[in-house]
Amino acid sequence: MQDPKTIAIIMDGNRRWARKSNLPVIHGHRKGIETLIKIVKASKRKGIKKLVVFAFSTENWSRQLLEVNGLMNLISFGTDTNLEELIENEVKLTFIGNIDSLPSNQKKDIAKCVEYTKKFTSFNLIIGLNYGGHWDIVNSVKKIQYSKKNISEKNLLRFSELGDEDVEIFIRTGGEIRISNFLLLNIAYSELFFVDKLWPDFCESDLDNILNEYKKRIRRFGK
């Protein structure tokens, strides 16, 4: 088995970690950002080229207003606070999802991060914001129709947010065993790993265990 180049992660468990620690929910999300930065650095050291993470789904808008507002503020906090570190580590930052529908302040912060890191090519952190797999499929079909091309499996992937990227490994922390509408078009043949640890507790050794297990598997692609 070749070493994986693209990994996707649903970073689940921030809220439960905060409650377990008797802290406000937003502290769990902040701790989750710290974990993300550590895993980004570890992934780059291990030769992974792209890390795709699910930060905020189209369904998350239904959460309590206080938490949603906190998450929106955390987007600005996270991008601004960690931008210098991402630049130092030559991490390209890109975003997938319905970014146009986000509040103006967050869109400005996102645009700034994208602009400042666009020159880096060795590692790409791709963040799903206001993203949903169903939305991605519908949006892809609209793009195909606008381009006046045929609707086909190839074009459906090509016009999706992640393109025809092969996601070799799909990880979900927090003990839940489901994919929650993430990258439906790109994980058809991914190797799935479900980890009991809450995301803030996830560490490099957990990633190593997954990479070692991945090497033992055989990807047959339905053959």
Output the six-digit token pair for 174: 């927090």
Output the six-digit token pair for 11: 């970073």
| Residue tagged active-site, from 22, 60, 98, 105 | 60
| Residue tagged active-site, from 12, 109, 136, 206 | 12
Angle, CA 171 vertex, CA 168 and CA 172 arms, to 5°: 155
The count of other CB atoms within 10 Å of the CB of residue 222 is 6
The count of other CB atoms within 10 Å of the CB of residue 217 is 11
Residue 87 to residue 117: CA distance in whole angstroms = 6
Strand partners, 191: 169
> Cα torsion at 60, 181, 162, 112 (round to 10°)?
10
Residue 42 to residue 46: CA distance in whole angstroms = 6
Is 98 an annotated catalytic residue?
A: no
3-state helix, strand, coil in the chain (%, to 5): 50, 15, 35
Is 12 an annotated catalytic residue?
A: yes
**Does residue 68 sit in helix, strand or coil?**
helix
Cβ contact 168:218 at 8 Å: no
Residues acting as catalytic residues: 12, 60
